[in-house]
Structure 1
C-alpha cells in the first residue's frame, strides 16, 4: 500500500476514495479499498491506497485522536509512504476540535511540521482565499453551515478557527504563493515548519491549485484536507513508477432498493422535495420516534410496500425544527436515537434482500455502515461529484453514502439507477 487515508466520517471516506480511484483525466487513479474502521488483518497486497473510515468528527477530541492514531499505526504497517487526514470540505468542527487535535497528533507521530491543511473542493463550490472558506459565493458562516446541528461553523476564517483548536501556531499559504508553482509552495512549507507552524492553511480556488499543492507535497509524510487535496496524489505515484493507474469499472447490482435520509442540510431537503414528486416518501416525526410510536417496523413495512418505486424515508428538518427538537430531547440523545433507528432499519433491509442502498448524511451513513459490517469496499464510478458507488462483496450490495450537501436535485432517483448500472 502506497497511500493511507484517515477519514473522520464515512461519506467523506467514500468521497476521497472516489478522488483517488478516479485520478486526473488521462492518468487514471490508484487501486483503492475503503475500510469500515481499523481492520484487524493485513490489506490485500494489490491495494495501492487504503481509506480507513472512522466516525470521529463529533466525538470527544481525545477519543478522535486515539482512534486516528490506531488507524495510522495500521496504515504504516501496510507500508504506506504518505498519510492523508481527510475532513469535510466545510471544515466541520467545534472550537475544541477535532481537526486541530487530530492533525497535530498525526504530525507529532510522524515527526513533521509545515503540514498542508486545505479543505477546498471547487467541484462542489468549496474554495479557500486568504484563509477564508467559501461555499459557492458565500462565506462559510453565511452558507447555512452556521446552523449545523452538531458542528455549527460561525467563522469563515479557518486559520483563526483552527488556531482555537491547535497547540501550535497555524500558518497560511496564500494564493499568490500557490499560483507561483510547486517549488514555491514547497519552500513556503519549509519556512512554516522553521517557524514552528504544524498546520498550514492553503488557499485553493480551482482544481489546478490543488494539483500544484499535491505536486509540492509529493514526498510529504502527511497532508490534511478535504477530498480535493487528493486530486494530484495518484499522479505522483504513477509518475514515480510505483503505481500503474486503474479505472473504476462497474457492472451494476440488481435487486430491491431503499433510500434513507438523516441529513438536515438544505441540499438534502431540496432533493427530498424533488424525489417526493414522483416517488413514495415517508417523513419521520422526531416526537413519534422518541416516544416509541414509530420504530423500524414502520420503516420496514413502508419499504416492503413500495419495493421497485425508489422509496425514501427521512428525518430531515429545517434548522428551526432541529433546534426545537434538540432543546426538547438533548442533542446527543436525539442524534443517537435517530442513528440507531436508521442503522437497525438498514440491517434488517439488507438481511431481507435489499441490494441497493442510498443513505444521505454523514452521521447517518456512519451508523448504517457500522451496523452492516460491510467489509472492504470496492470503489465504483462516480454518481455525482464526491459520491462514488461502493460495492460490498461481503454483503453482495451496492451503496451510495452521500454527504448532506452533495448531489444534484434528482440525486436519489439517479443514485438508485446508478447502483443498477443504468447511468
Structure 2
C-alpha cells in the first residue's frame, strides 16, 4: 500500500464517527508479547467501559466484542517461534472479522538485538499491506519515558538504570531508534517530543518526510500523556499498524472503540483456597515475599537442588498439602540474588528461567487438582507458564481497582481466579493485598 496522502490538522483531530451498527462489529485485535501486559491492557479497557475479552489460545477466540486481546509468550521466544505464534493469533482474529491488528509490547520495549519487536512489526505491516508502522515505547504514569528516541527508566537512561542488570533483556543501548534498527531491514525514523509540541500538522509533515525517505517504521517519543494522544490520533487517521507499549495501546483502542454498545456485567471471583507462585527474581519480589511471610507460610525452592525437578515438585506439593484449605501460602523459586546468579551460571539465563517456569507450572496444575481456585502469580513469563498449565484459554479481566490491574477470572462451571503480577511491580504488601481483593 502506498503511503497515505498528507492529512491536515482537522483530519488528524477529527473525532471518529461510528454508527450504532459499526459499534457492535469487530474492530481491533491486540496481540501482547506476554500475559501480564495483555491483562493490564484488558483491565484498563474494562475500566473505560470497553468489553475486552482476553485469550491465551487462538482456539479460544470467539466473536462478540469490538476489541479482543491476546496474551502470548513472544517476548523471549526465538524469532521463528514468535512469528508462528503471532500468525496463529492473527489468523484467528482475522477470521472473526477483526480488521485491524496491533502488537502490545512492554513499556521499555524489552527485547534483544535480534528481536522480536522488529520482526513482528514487519510481519504485521506485510500482512496488512500498510507502512510505515507507528512505534511508541514508555509509560509516563510509571516514570518510563522516551525523549529524542532515548529510553528513560524511572528518570535515568535505561542503560544506567536497574534494567541494565536484567538477565534476559538488559537493554544496554538507550537509543531505541538505533536499537530497533538492528531488528529490521526497514528504516526506523523518529518524530521527537519537540516536533510533537509543534502540533499535528508538523507531525503529519514530519511523518511524510520520513516515509518518503524510505523508513518503514516511525518511532514516536512518549515524554508525557499528551504525546500519547497526538501519536494515537495520527495512527488512527492514517489507519496505520501500531506496535506500542501499554498506555499507547490503551489510548489508541479507546479512541478506536468509541461508541461501543452496552458493557457486559462485571465478573465475579472464584471461591476456594488460594496460593501464591513466584518465579520472578530480584529485590522487589524478595521484599514482597518477606512481607508475605510475616503472615503466611512461604516455601523457597532451589533450582540447583541435586534431587532434580520432579523431586523438588513432589516435595513442594507434600509441603502444600499441609496448608491447603487452612490458609494461603506461597511457593517461590526466588531465594536471593546470589541463588539466581548461581542458577543462571549453571544453566544459562534462559534455561534457568524455563526450569523455574516448569517447576511452578507443574505445581500449579497439581494445586488446581487439590482444590486451589485462586492463584496469585508473580512474573510475566511465570504467569504464561502457569496459565498454560492450568489449561486456561480465555479470561475476563477486572477493571482497574485500588491496587491497579492484574485480576481476571476464567469463567465457567468451575471458575479460577488469577492475579498476574509483573515481576517489578507493586509495593511490599501487594501479595497479601491481592489475596484480600480476590473475594
Distance 1:99 1:237 in 2: 23
Q: Residue 298 of structure 1 aligns with which residue?
A: 315
- Cα RMSD of the aligned pairs, angstroms, is 2.3
Q: Residue 13 of structure 2 aligns with which residue?
A: none
Q: Is 2:372 the counterpart of 1:347?
A: no
Native 8 Å contact 1:147 1:319 kept in 2: no
> 1:333, CA displacement in angstroms?
3.2
Native 8 Å contact 2:313 2:362 kept in 1: yes
Native 8 Å contact 2:44 2:405 kept in 1: no
> 1:187, CA displacement in angstroms?
4.0
Q: Is 2:288 the counterpart of 1:271?
A: yes
Distance 1:417 1:171, change over 3 A: same
Q: Is 2:278 the counterpart of 1:261?
A: yes
Distance 1:349 1:293 in 2: 15
Q: Is 2:116 the counterpart of 1:65?
A: no
Moved more, 100-109 or 211-220: 211-220
Moved more, 397-406 or 77-86: 77-86
Q: Residue 110 of structure 2 aligns with which residue?
A: 92
The TM-score, its normalising length taken from structure 2, stands at: 0.87
Distance 1:284 1:145 in 2: 25
Distance 2:261 2:278 in 1: 38
Distance 1:271 1:190, change over 3 A: farther
Secondary structure in structure 2 of the residue aligned to 1:205: coil
Distance 2:431 2:201 in 1: 43
Q: Is 2:42 the counterpart of 1:17?
A: yes
Secondary structure in structure 1 of the residue aligned to 2:58: coil
2:132 to 114, 128, 147: 114
Distance 1:284 1:188, change over 3 A: same
> 1:294, CA displacement in angstroms?
4.7
Distance 2:219 2:283 in 1: 27
Distance 1:319 1:155, change over 3 A: farther
> 1:186, CA displacement in angstroms?
4.0
Distance 1:385 1:170, change over 3 A: farther
Distance 1:375 1:190, change over 3 A: same
Q: Is 2:256 the counterpart of 1:230?
A: no
Q: Residue 124 of structure 1 aligns with which residue?
A: 142
Structure 2: 5+ residue runs without aligned partners?
1-25
Distance 1:306 1:122, change over 3 A: farther
Distance 1:343 1:244, change over 3 A: same
Native 8 Å contact 1:19 1:227 kept in 2: no
Native 8 Å contact 1:104 1:166 kept in 2: yes
Q: Is 2:187 the counterpart of 1:162?
A: no
Q: Residue 31 of structure 1 aligns with which residue?
A: 51
Q: Residue 397 of structure 1 aligns with which residue?
A: 416
Secondary structure in structure 1 of the residue aligned to 2:42: helix
> 1:414, CA displacement in angstroms?
0.9
Native 8 Å contact 1:20 1:233 kept in 2: no
Moved more, 376-385 or 274-283: 376-385
Q: Is 2:89 the counterpart of 1:105?
A: no
Distance 1:100 1:149 in 2: 21
Q: Residue 352 of structure 2 aligns with which residue?
A: 334
When Rg is computed on C-alpha atoms for both structures, the one with the higher figure is: 2
Distance 1:244 1:115 in 2: 29
> 1:379, CA displacement in angstroms?
1.1
Q: Is 2:64 the counterpart of 1:8?
A: no
Distance 1:68 1:416 in 2: 33
2:206 to 177, 183, 188: 188
Q: Counterparts of 1:362-381 in structure 2 under 5 Å? A: 362-381=380-399
Secondary structure in structure 1 of the residue aligned to 2:182: helix
Distance 2:386 2:193 in 1: 39
Q: Is 2:107 the counterpart of 1:82?
A: no
> 1:272, CA displacement in angstroms?
1.9
> 1:225, CA displacement in angstroms?
1.2
Runs of 4+ that moved beyond 6 A? none
Q: For residues 381-406 of structure 1, what are the alpha-carbon distances to aligned partners after superposition, in whole Å with 9 as ceiling and x for unaligned?
A: 22577633111014501101111122
Moved more, 70-79 or 293-302: 293-302
> 1:256, CA displacement in angstroms?
0.5
Distance 2:173 2:196 in 1: 23
